[in-house]
Structure 1
Amino acid sequence: MAAHEARAHDGGMTAVLSRAQRYAGALRWYWRGMTGADAYERYVEHLARTHPGAPVPTVKQFWREKYDDMERNPATRCC
């Protein structure tokens, strides 16, 4: 294989990997949004935007409060 052909081949593989990484990232973003796994990140962004300087709960504190709220308000789920 000539040097220029090798470079072209490597560039093609790089493009394929780059596309695959972007696709995987988009799929991860979609999945996290659908399952609610991104709720903490969205809450922290909300706090920073609407309540700057407010204390930010830890991930553990956030999920504990979220699940406690779900137990207090069972109408928010189907079963």
Structure 2
Amino acid sequence: MSTSTSGTATPASTVVHRIAAPFRAVHWYLKEVMGENAYLHYLESFERRHGTRDGAMGEREFWRDLTDEQDRNPKVRCC
């Protein structure tokens, strides 16, 4: 066990959590930049507008619709 600044023992899980936190933040950021979280954002938006997730597109249907829309309306993007 390590000790904190107050001299009390800090559980190893807390130390691991503190070490892992920046890596989780980078992982989240990369998922946002790459668009991997688009479906989750869609579900959150759908639920806010409709009060439920019933009737929302499934994940496969969402990605198909998104790529079809991008093909119909090409815009400048990296890929």
TM-score norm. by structure 1 comes to 0.73
- Aligned position for 2:62: 62
- Aligned position for 2:49: 50
In structure 1, distance between residues paired with 2:37 and 2:46: 14
Ranges in structure 2 where 5+ consecutive residues have no aligned partner: 4-8
- Aligned position for 1:21: 20
Using the aligned pairs only, state the percent identity. Answer: 30
In structure 2, distance between residues paired with 1:62 and 1:30: 21
Q: Which amino acid aligns with 1:64?
A: R
Please state how far the C-alpha of 1:25 moved relative to its aligned partner.
1.8
- Aligned position for 1:4: none
Please state how far the C-alpha of 1:69 moved relative to its aligned partner.
0.3
Q: Which amino acid aligns with 2:30?
A: W
- Aligned position for 1:35: 34
Q: Which has the higher strand share?
A: 2
Please state how far the C-alpha of 1:61 moved relative to its aligned partner.
0.5
Q: Which has the higher helix share?
A: 1
Figure out how many residues of one structure are paired with residues of the other and give that number: 73
Larger Rg: 1
In structure 1, distance between residues paired with 2:63 and 2:76: 16
| Structure 1 contact 70–76 (Cα < 8 Å) conserved | no
4+ aligned runs moved over 6 Å, structure 1: none
Task: Give the alignment's Cα RMSD to 1 decimal.
Answer: 2.4
